[in-house]
Each structure stands twice: as structure tokens, then as C-alpha cells.
Amino acid sequence: MRQQTTDEPPVVLMDPTRPPRPVPGCDVCAALDRQRAAAEARSDIKRATTCEVEIRRHPHPGRSEE
């Protein structure tokens, strides 16, 4: 397979910050993490990446930043 030049950045699977950790006790994060795992299992990287972004961005009012 040849590397294609596109405007989109390549998907980096070896990103050390991934997968993001779902916040314990947060149902939304847990659901997103399951979706991410399922997407990854079927090689749906785009979907998995979307879930990762949502996990990272999910706000948790009342919790202190780690």
C-alpha cells in the first residue's frame, strides 16, 4: 500500500495518550469507552477516534482536573 498525500493528518495509533481513560463512575465515559472498544474491534478507526475525542472532552463538573 502506498502512502497517499491528503489534507487529512494520518491516524496515529501509537499515540501514548490513548486510549483516554474514562472517568470512573461516569456512565457517559463508560459508554463511550465501550463504543470505542467495539469500533476498534471492527477496525473502525474513524469511529474509535471520535469516541476518544468525546471521552477526552466530556466535562465533569465538580471533579478536579487530574
Note the residues at the interface with Zn ion (CB under 5 A): 23, 26, 28-29, 58
Q: Which is nearer to Zn ion, 3 or 17 (CB)?
A: 17
- The torsion defined by the Cα of 3, 33, 55 and 23, in degrees rounded to 10, comes to -140
Q: How far is the CB of 40 from Zn ion (least distance, A)?
A: 19
**Cβ atoms of 58 and 31 closer than 8 Å:** no
Q: Which is nearer to Zn ion, 10 or 61 (CB)?
A: 61
Q: How far is the CB of 45 from Zn ion (least distance, A)?
A: 22
**Cβ atoms of 11 and 23 closer than 8 Å:** no
